[in-house]
Amino acid sequence: MARYLVTGGAGFIGSHLCESFLSQGHEVLCMDNYSTGAQENIAPFLKNPRFRFIDHNVSRYIELQEPLDFILHFASPASPVDYLELPIPTLKVGALGTHNTLGLAKAKDAVFLLASTSEVYGDPLVRPQSEDYWGNVNPIGPRGVYDEAKRYAEAMTMAYHRYHGLKTRIVRIFNTYGPRMRLRDGRVVPNFIMQALKGEPLTVYGEGQQTRSFQYVDDLVAGLNKLLHADYHLPVNIGNPNEMTVLEFAKKIIEITGSKSTIIYKPLPEDDPQVRQPDISRAKAILDWEPKVNLAVGLKKTIEYFRSKLTE
């Protein structure tokens, strides 16, 4: 039995990680302040004696008495809706939160995993994006608060690895979807599903020719479990390389939901990435990982979750 600390553990991905570690028989400390997470995501775990919730903002000093084997730093607003409303907390959790969790990992001699993002590539000029690509980011644009927070967090994680010899892992997560996403998350998957289920027009920005690649949350969790136990400290892309345009994706959501929704077009937001496709060669070679869940299968599970929430 190992003991895991998951910051942002009441969030979409964080709660799935907590569930995965509990199912393996481990102890889990879940740290969150519910800025974007939700108590309902972890409600099923609260009666488990191997689970403990800690209400704390990781941008403040963290003090824990018990030993820790693994620390996964997932605390951060991740949707443009959130980080545009919370720009300074987003920067703080990337800087101060990462510093505090790295310091805790050093004190506990724990393996540290940083949840980074495909957003470190900005609006990329290469396709697909490999981990060796340095990115094309506007540091002073509205999205810069998230992009640069994650880039700084990566730099600090590497500094702790090089200077202190800390066992670190960095995952660059590409678009992930699944149950427990917030209904009004603001990202393309929940937006389209909610609009389709309500029979509202699906909102496509620009001409909808910008591309995205979508991975189901179970595939991400499987990749993260492998990365935690791999002796590899450089960034690793975890995502689905099957790329499609946003317009194609909108039509697929309408098809799967059986909605009569139409599609409307609005101006493209500033610095919206035009392409997003992971090169997962490194994950294949080092982790023996690649996504397995078919898009239609994952979307049907996600749509059923959203449908159940709408009828509550």
What residues are labeled active site? 146
Q: Are 169 and 232 in contact (CB under 8 A)?
A: yes
For residue 49, whether the previous peptide bond is cis, meaning omega lies within 30 degrees of 0, is: no
Residue 244 burial (10 A CB sphere; 0-12, 13-18, 19+): middle
**One-letter amino acid for residue 149 of the chain:** A
Determine the 3-state secondary structure of 259 from DSSP.
coil
- Alpha-helix runs per DSSP H in 209-274: 217-228, 246-257
Q: Following CA atoms 73, 79, 81, 87 in sequence, which dihedral angle do they give, to the nearest 10 degrees?
A: 40
Which residue has tokens 């004190």? 107
Distance of CA 104 to the CA centre of its chain: 22
Distance CA 236, CA 15 (A): 21
